[in-house]
Structure 1
Amino acid sequence: MTQQRIITPIADLLRRPDGPRDRQLLFGETVAVAETQDGWSRIAADKDGYQGWVTSDQLGPPVPDTHWVTAPATHAYAQPDMKSPDQVSLSFGSKVQVLSEQNGFLETELGFIPAVHAKFNATRLTDPVSVAELFLGTPYLWGGNSRFGLDCSGLVQAGLLACGIPCPGDSGDQERELGKALPAGTEPKRGDLLFWKGHVAWIYGDNMLLHANAYHMDVTFEPMDQAITRILEQGDGPVTAHKRL
């Protein structure tokens, strides 16, 4: 296997060449390439081991990152000036190598991003629920992992990885691997996770969930009792686990 990194703002990780999207990778994330054929590369993401296919032109040689984007999203500008043309948009979690700092902007290979939108790569945030809250209003996207589109497991993973907590990419694996299962009737606490078959939500507090869901088609707050009833009535079953990290 060879090490490569994602060189486009977002790369769809597909089940097979030209197949359905399972997850997404962000600019600067590193991957192990197992094989390349006909313009496609089979890779495993370093952040969680998720495997799939990306187009080979979305990969480039690894470059040591120095910073990561901690704003929900940012623009890379042609010059260290907010009035200069914006070149590309990057999502929360993207990794960049900073070449210099000028006039409150960080110079990267893509252009200049506002210094307030990034932190040193060793920096970890402390509250995964607050990270998830940054994505309020983000449109729902099956397999999405960015500010431009998220699904339920992508929202959970974004919060945990930003805080230095390992997290798989799919809700089923998250249910198996994250936290400690709590008995039915346990008082919910902020930062707990509720799982259904194929769905996961953060417990925000005060009987409120924070989740990316296809009913609202975005990242939103929803009363916990209402969500449990709604999901059951729409045929997706009861809560399968209440877990505490």
Structure 2
Amino acid sequence: MSDPRLTPANSRVAHASLAGTVDAPRFTEGEWRQVETGILPLLASPEGPRERELLQGETFCVLEEVDGFAFGFCGRDGYVGYVFAEFLFPLNPPTHRVKAIRSFWQEDPDIKSTMRVFPLSFGARLRVARIEGDWARLTIQTPPDAVWFREAWIPSAHIAPVDTVEADPVNVAEMFVGTPYLWGGNSAFGIDCSGLVQAALTACGQDCPADSDMQMALGAEAQGAYRRGDLLFWQGHVAVVV
């Protein structure tokens, strides 16, 4: 039986790749869009529980929109679910990623600014228009009628080119020490065990599924003494050897 977490189909629509595999009234290739908010919950159903989270700049393939929710799957790992459609915009390929464990964008490039700020997690993806000294000006997308940010700036020390990767997953994981536990969390504002493993590995350019039972298929079973970077699994949990 196929895993519903990775099977982009519901009672009304399915992805075109599933034609001949599942029964559905309609098949579609979907439309890729981009997240334009700091953290976007991925829900099991409209108004349902959180399964995972998407970060600013990540992609989501929309198969249908109903009553303000978009059904589809994440570009990061193929995880299926529902998100609030208002935070999905046309693709605007990012140029940089957030390398600080936590950051923000704000309305003006001034460390003493009292204007609004917008929190960003490690791993968020951004499109930089230009860098001016200690600050980078961002290109952001907002609804036409929204009163959001006139401009968006982020400290330039907090970002790196989007195609650069970290060297050591353990070092990345240790950056999250002190982060609150959040079931289904994928950000530096709240994360769970499998979210931590995924964040650490993907930051180093390694593909990684979302949940701990899926992650058990990574690599080969370790032999002998534990080594730095090994993954340890037990019922419903995963940990990284440091």
- Using the aligned pairs only, state the percent identity: 46
Show the counterpart of 1:28.
57
The question of whether the paired residues in 1 share the 8 Å contact of 2:137 and 2:153 is answered with yes
Matched, 1:194 2:232: yes
Which of residues 168, 184, 201 in structure 2 aligns to 1:143? Answer: 184
Which of residues 52, 56, 71 in structure 1 aligns to 2:81? Answer: 52
Show the counterpart of 1:12.
41
Provide the secondary structure at the position in 2 that maps to 1:23: strand
| Residues 114-157 of structure 1, C-alpha deviations (whole Å, 9 max, x = no match) | 11101001101110010011100000000000010000000000
Corresponding residue pairs, total: 201
Show the counterpart of 1:95.
125
1:99-138 superposed matches below 5 A: 99-109=129-139, 111-138=152-179
TM-score by length of 1: 0.80
Question: What amino acid is the match of 1:76?
Answer: W
Offset of residue 52 of structure 1: 0.5
Show the counterpart of 1:182.
222
Mind listing any 5+ residue stretches in structure 2 that lack a counterpart? Answer: 1-29, 141-151
The question of whether the paired residues in 2 share the 8 Å contact of 1:14 and 1:54 is answered with yes
| Residues 145-197 of structure 1, C-alpha deviations (whole Å, 9 max, x = no match) | 00100000000000000000000000000012x111124xx200000000012
CA distance in structure 2 between the partners assigned to 1:30 and 1:56 by the alignment: 12
The question of whether the paired residues in 1 share the 8 Å contact of 2:39 and 2:53 is answered with yes
Question: What amino acid is the match of 1:166?
Answer: D
Question: What amino acid is the match of 2:137?
Answer: E
| Residues 203-238 of structure 1, C-alpha deviations (whole Å, 9 max, x = no match) | 01xxxxxxxxxxxxxxxxxxxxxxxxxxxxxxxxxx
Mind listing any 5+ residue stretches in structure 1 that lack a counterpart? Answer: 205-245
Show the counterpart of 2:97.
68
Offset of residue 87 of structure 1: 2.1
Question: What amino acid is the match of 1:198?
Answer: G
CA distance in structure 1 between the partners assigned to 2:73 and 2:176 by the alignment: 26
CA distance in structure 2 between the partners assigned to 1:113 and 1:100 by the alignment: 11
Offset of residue 12 of structure 1: 0.4
The question of whether the paired residues in 1 share the 8 Å contact of 2:133 and 2:156 is answered with no
Question: What amino acid is the match of 2:107?
Answer: A
Offset of residue 86 of structure 1: 4.1
Which of residues 12, 31, 43 in structure 2 aligns to 1:2? Answer: 31
